[in-house]
Structure 1
Amino acid sequence: MKVLLCTFQAVAVFLLAGVAYGSAKSLPKDEIPVVAVVSELQRHLVLDNYEKWAPGLNWQKLRDFYQKRDFYPVWLNFNGPTEKAAIVRDTLIFSYNEGLDPAEYHVPAIRYLWRAKKARSKARLELLLTDAFMRYGLEVSAGYQDPRAADFDWYVRQKKINVTDLLESILIADNTEKILHDLPPSHMAYFQLKEKLAYYRALAAQGSWQKVGFAPQLKIGMRHPQVINIRKRLQQEEYLPSGNKDQSDLFDDELALAVRKFQKLHGHKVDGIVGYFTRKSLNIGVEEKITLIKQNMERWRWMPENLGQRYIMVNMAGYQLELMENGESVMDMPVIIGKTFRATPAFIDTLKYIELNPTWKVPPRIAKEKFLPKLRENAEFLQANHLKIYDSWRRDAKEVNPASVDWQKISDTRFPFKLEQTAGPHNSMGRIKFMFPNRFRVYLHDTPNRNLFNRHVRTFSSGCIRLARPFQLANRILSWENTQNQADVKAQMASGETIRIDIKQKLPIYLMYWTVWVDKNGDINFRNDIYERNKKIATGSEHGVS
């Protein structure tokens, strides 16, 4: 190995000293091809302007990398591409399985140049492999898009991947395949989506799906020509057995059962009736579903690698919260999220404390936009809603007599007071609140409006997450703390006093946005893009070289 490195260094010095390639004839015969590639790499990266050949390559990173190596190739030896090069090439080819496009990693060009004989072609193969590896390493690990550019309401810190260090590590490692295998996210949810991506591609290979045309609401016992199309469509996605030859126009029990399952997995009212929304979901094509799966795989690439042993995961698009422990869901419940014009942002924080019998300090925006118009109409609004008014947001703020304020003169642009709702069953926070202080003033909390959990679309809050079963969540979390029991919480609640319970163990909270996921039964779920956050998530990027 030392002899080989000395030879490499001698070749580099030989070239950099300006010795013409023709003088290399005195070298051993099997080293001449490598010398020629070194010369071509130097020409491509330093001496001549070859960027027009492949404008999509990261030329600056390539120059920095190869200059440190005296332009010596890392993927080629005297006999051509190395075994490592072949492993990397195959990984790039199968990037398709990760929801990525192999053409973005120059796979067609790499295949074309693989057995090249000319030094210039070999040098180009070398550069394409290096650039492709660096791009793939970054994009399969951390995503191919800037998360904030793709979703302006995404506030999770972007992963930092040093692709040069990654490249250096794979060049000296013996376990190349394992390193490449470990680059994609290791989350089970990502792996499940990857499996479903292969499944839906197999369905796509069988042809496009049956469209369901306009018809009145269809239900059990009815006959209609569209029933035949509904039956075919559900067979294509295997909600009905594909071997079922029944093509009757009768809406029977078996079809109703398949429709109910379809509705459940698409977030619709589960009634077995094919109406407007069910028909709309039935008309989503297989290619569109593949795109949705790939978009959600990309979101998982934006996530931290380690979510924690215990954590709270809120899926806004699914209106669902799960309490996770050791990778398993130990509790789940419906939630209510922000209105479409006051959308709940996606971010990560840590639970700091639980507040019993909380008060509610009304955010200035809500006070200005929602409450001020009502105060102008009715000065008794504050009293009717158990709201107190203070002269500022300072700790020593003084309470103000509402009758002393001329609400007609208060500016629409700046609300000068603090409004606070007293504790009790009337409070908008309900009887319990889960606090993780953040710049968005978004928290998890109870709600007095329990009837809203019966809705299928639950975008009713001003940004906070309302919980269907907050006390069960609190009891489970406090059982981990070993400082409170269920009886203690009930007694403290009954006192009516506002009580803070600090959480000592780290419990991350993830407010996320998944429109596609696989549930604990192994079924894939699709949901509407309620906040329209998928629109800017492409299913690939453009690199300029194929």
Structure 2
Amino acid sequence: MTGQLVFAFFVLSAMAFASPGFSQAQQTEPESPVETPQDHAAGAGVDAERPAIERLAPEERHDVEATATPAQVTPQAEAMKKALLALAAGGNEEERNEHAALLSFYETRRFAPLWLDMSGVPTPKATSAMAEIARADDYGLDPRDFTLPAGLDQRAQTAAARVGDQKPETVASDEIAISRAVLKYGRFARGGRIINPSEQLSSYLDRRPQLLKPDVILEGVAASGEPDAYLRGLHPQHAQFDRLRRKYLALRDRSQSAEAKRLLANMEQWRWMPADLGDLYVWNNIPEFMQRVVKNGEVVRKERIVTGQLDKQTPIFTRTLKKITFKPTWIVPESIKVREILPSLQRGGGMMREWQLELRDKNGQTVDWRRINWYRTDIRIFNVVQENGPKSVMGKVKFSFPSQHTVFMHDAYPPDKWMFNKARRTYSHGCMRVQNPIGLAEILLKEDKGLEAAQVREAARSGRNDNEFEIERRIPIHMTYFTALVDDDGKLHTFPDVYGHERRITLALEGKWSQISRGKDHLAPVELDMASAQRRNRYAEDDAADAPPRVWRSNASFRGGFLDSLFGRW
């Protein structure tokens, strides 16, 4: 009998929940009992032909009827479902995700409203959320970006509204409008005004908005007793974001000023930063040309850095530190091989001699570069390397945090320490040269390996070449582009927009996309025009008959040329 009770319960429950808008408050008399295929199973006997519910004891039948009574669809639920299904899916992935989340959220609620009662009167939850959205400018957002229903305040004060004067279609439309505004506010609070900076602004801006899933936002705001506080909590919680916001509020009456726009652009970048920066992290702020090591929110080290040239920028991204290598070997990047080493080889190979570079095949075997016709050979099939030594451009230590950008932090070639004394330190090919890098290694290896400073210095001084220390602890390396920071005393510090990213962000926030100059794609494959090289070689061969014997230029004539190409000169 218990099995029959359970079976009948599921049959009638399926009938009841098949109708959208199910509500315990809208129950009707049960419909006629339903026969199932199981009722006619072989060997069931005459009793099996009776409807399942009639085969239950009276008290069991009463329990099933009370639990599984089907519901009528209310006009409000019908209107909500129809309005949601009529919504356009959206023009981008984020809008389509929000559309799907809305359908799922209200389907789970049986299409019952969250923000309005059945008469269309806003609930306290709606009043709280809409008031916060109207104050969007307090957090650097534009209230005009969020469409809220008009006249809800007046409706709440109108007696006619409280007796159900609003049509279900109006209630549905207003309900959906509030939810869509909440979702859009949540997206913009997390940086969604510029959804893909690396594609929309510059390939060097490898950041993405820290979006929450739309269903998480809807469920979170629905569960919150203070929707306004919940919406405020969607903004970055970093101290710098709040300090910049307070500076912006002081300039609100001059919101179109250059200073206010700068603050907004920097606030937007904080929306792209990881919510958890790490309990220990290295922060390289490129426009400031400064590095900080932060532990438990306190700066424990601050030093100068050298960054990429204007056409060879240091990219903006976050990765985790993987290795610290003492006496590192330098593997020349593809771009330098093609654009600088190859022309030198075609002229005789002065750079290879001056900087003690080696040519190796993909198996690591040394190849004699003097025996190769560089007008007919693609240098990309080889590796060009520099073993660590007195002329090492890597210096004594390298900090690796692998990415598609192939940049890292390292020491500087001793004759180029002058770079750290310049105010504007854009001299590298994209990597960051660190002042006093052994001090940085001492801090990080103490935290990760428990090594004392003397042990670190000894490894750097007398250890073998390519002496690697694998880092086990999670230590993020943050490359940022903040042109405005507020110190602990509340003083605003600003820095030059050396790469133009601040301008790009400002134009995007103002909707002036057509005015943004993205620049080159630094991740595009390096091109090599062998046909042009071969043509140049033919011209050289034609002239060779009348030319005097080749005389190698002295190494001294190349001094500085390679470093000029690597680091630039002022």
TM-score when normalising by structure 1: 0.71
- C-alpha displacement of 1:146: 0.8
Closer/same/farther in 2, CA of residues 472 and 375 from structure 1, 3 Å limit: same
SS in 1 for 2:307: strand
The residue number in structure 2 matching 1:127 is 176
Closer/same/farther in 2, CA of residues 434 and 292 from structure 1, 3 Å limit: same
Matched, 1:319 2:294: no
Mapping 1:365-376, distance limit 5 Å: 365-376=335-346
Is residue 12–residue 72 contact of structure 1 (8 Å, CA) maintained in 2? Answer: no
Is residue 21–residue 112 contact of structure 2 (8 Å, CA) maintained in 1? Answer: no
Question: How far apart in 1 are the matches of 2:26 and 2:422?
Answer: 71
The residue number in structure 1 matching 2:362 is 393
Amino acid at match of 2:189: V
Is residue 194–residue 209 contact of structure 2 (8 Å, CA) maintained in 1? Answer: no
Amino acid at match of 1:71: F
SS in 2 for 1:369: helix
The residue number in structure 2 matching 1:436 is 401
Matched, 1:404 2:371: yes
Closer/same/farther in 2, CA of residues 393 and 7 from structure 1, 3 Å limit: closer
Mapping 1:63-212, distance limit 5 Å: 63-77=103-117, 80-107=121-148, 109=150, 115=156, 117=161, 118-119=166-167, 120-148=169-197, 149-151=199-201, 152-156=203-207, 158-202=209-253, 204=254
- C-alpha displacement of 1:288: 2.3
Amino acid at match of 2:242: F
Deviates more, 1:491-500 or 1:59-68: 59-68
Is residue 100–residue 540 contact of structure 1 (8 Å, CA) maintained in 2? Answer: no
Is residue 293–residue 302 contact of structure 2 (8 Å, CA) maintained in 1? Answer: yes
SS in 1 for 2:257: helix
Kindly provide the CA deviation profile for residues 90-109 of structure 1, in whole angstroms up to 9, marking residues without a partner as x: 11011111110111112474
- C-alpha displacement of 1:194: 0.9
Kindly provide the CA deviation profile for residues 56-88 of structure 1, in whole angstroms up to 9, marking residues without a partner as x: 996555444434433321111257111111110
- C-alpha displacement of 1:385: 0.8
Kindly provide the CA deviation profile for residues 381-400 of structure 1, in whole angstroms up to 9, marking residues without a partner as x: 2121121121x233xx2212
Mapping 1:210-359, distance limit 5 Å: 287-359=257-329
Is residue 446–residue 470 contact of structure 1 (8 Å, CA) maintained in 2? Answer: yes
Kindly provide the CA deviation profile for residues 284-326 of structure 1, in whole angstroms up to 9, marking residues without a partner as x: xx62221221122111111211111000111112212111111
Closer/same/farther in 2, CA of residues 302 and 12 from structure 1, 3 Å limit: farther
Matched, 1:461 2:428: yes
- C-alpha displacement of 1:535: 4.3
Is residue 338–residue 465 contact of structure 1 (8 Å, CA) maintained in 2? Answer: yes
The residue number in structure 2 matching 1:472 is 439
Question: How far apart in 2 are the matches of 1:45 and 1:503?
Answer: 51
Q: Which runs of 5+ in 2 are unaligned?
A: 1-19, 29-72, 90-94, 513-570
Matched, 1:41 2:80: yes
Kindly provide the CA deviation profile for residues 354-403 of structure 1, in whole angstroms up to 9, marking residues without a partner as x: 1111111111221111122122224342121121121x233xx2212233
SS in 1 for 2:460: helix
Amino acid at match of 1:180: L
- C-alpha displacement of 1:466: 0.9
Is residue 122–residue 152 contact of structure 2 (8 Å, CA) maintained in 1? Answer: no
* Cα RMSD (Å): 3.2
Closer/same/farther in 2, CA of residues 436 and 51 from structure 1, 3 Å limit: closer
The residue number in structure 2 matching 1:491 is 458
Is residue 362–residue 418 contact of structure 1 (8 Å, CA) maintained in 2? Answer: yes
- C-alpha displacement of 1:169: 2.9
The residue number in structure 2 matching 1:528 is 496
Matched, 1:420 2:385: yes
SS in 1 for 2:23: helix
SS in 2 for 1:497: coil
Question: How far apart in 2 are the matches of 1:10 and 1:346?
Answer: 55
Amino acid at match of 1:386: Q
Closer/same/farther in 2, CA of residues 321 and 113 from structure 1, 3 Å limit: farther
- C-alpha displacement of 1:410: 3.5
Is residue 289–residue 307 contact of structure 2 (8 Å, CA) maintained in 1? Answer: yes
Question: How far apart in 1 are the matches of 2:362 and 2:490?
Answer: 50
Question: How far apart in 2 are the matches of 1:489 and 1:40?
Answer: 71
Question: How far apart in 1 are the matches of 2:87 and 2:462?
Answer: 77
SS in 1 for 2:294: strand
SS in 2 for 1:341: coil
Matched, 1:446 2:411: yes
Is residue 114–residue 125 contact of structure 1 (8 Å, CA) maintained in 2? Answer: no
Closer/same/farther in 2, CA of residues 163 and 38 from structure 1, 3 Å limit: same
Is residue 447–residue 467 contact of structure 1 (8 Å, CA) maintained in 2? Answer: yes
Q: Which runs of 5+ in 1 are unaligned?
A: 1-5, 15-33, 206-285
SS in 2 for 1:84: helix
Question: How far apart in 2 are the matches of 1:192 and 1:462?
Answer: 33
Amino acid at match of 2:287: A
Kindly provide the CA deviation profile for residues 325-351 of structure 1, in whole angstroms up to 9, marking residues without a partner as x: 111211111211122222222222111
Question: How far apart in 2 are the matches of 1:488 and 1:475?
Answer: 9
- C-alpha displacement of 1:484: 2.4
Question: How far apart in 2 are the matches of 1:146 and 1:477?
Answer: 34
SS in 2 for 1:76: coil
Question: How far apart in 1 are the matches of 2:502 and 2:138?
Answer: 20
Aligned length: 429
Question: How far apart in 1 are the matches of 2:88 and 2:365?
Answer: 68
Kindly provide the CA deviation profile for residues 453-472 of structure 1, in whole angstroms up to 9, marking residues without a partner as x: 22222221111111122121
Matched, 1:518 2:486: yes
Question: How far apart in 2 are the matches of 1:105 and 1:76?
Answer: 18
Question: How far apart in 2 are the matches of 1:381 and 1:172?
Answer: 66
Question: How far apart in 1 are the matches of 2:247 and 2:369?
Answer: 59
Is residue 131–residue 228 contact of structure 2 (8 Å, CA) maintained in 1? Answer: no
Closer/same/farther in 2, CA of residues 405 and 13 from structure 1, 3 Å limit: farther
Closer/same/farther in 2, CA of residues 481 and 38 from structure 1, 3 Å limit: closer
TM-score when normalising by structure 2: 0.68
- C-alpha displacement of 1:488: 2.2
Amino acid at match of 2:377: I
Closer/same/farther in 2, CA of residues 354 and 134 from structure 1, 3 Å limit: same
Question: How far apart in 1 are the matches of 2:405 and 2:211?
Answer: 25
Is residue 149–residue 174 contact of structure 2 (8 Å, CA) maintained in 1? Answer: no
Larger Rg: 2
Amino acid at match of 1:292: R
Amino acid at match of 2:84: L
Question: How far apart in 1 are the matches of 2:144 and 2:102?
Answer: 19
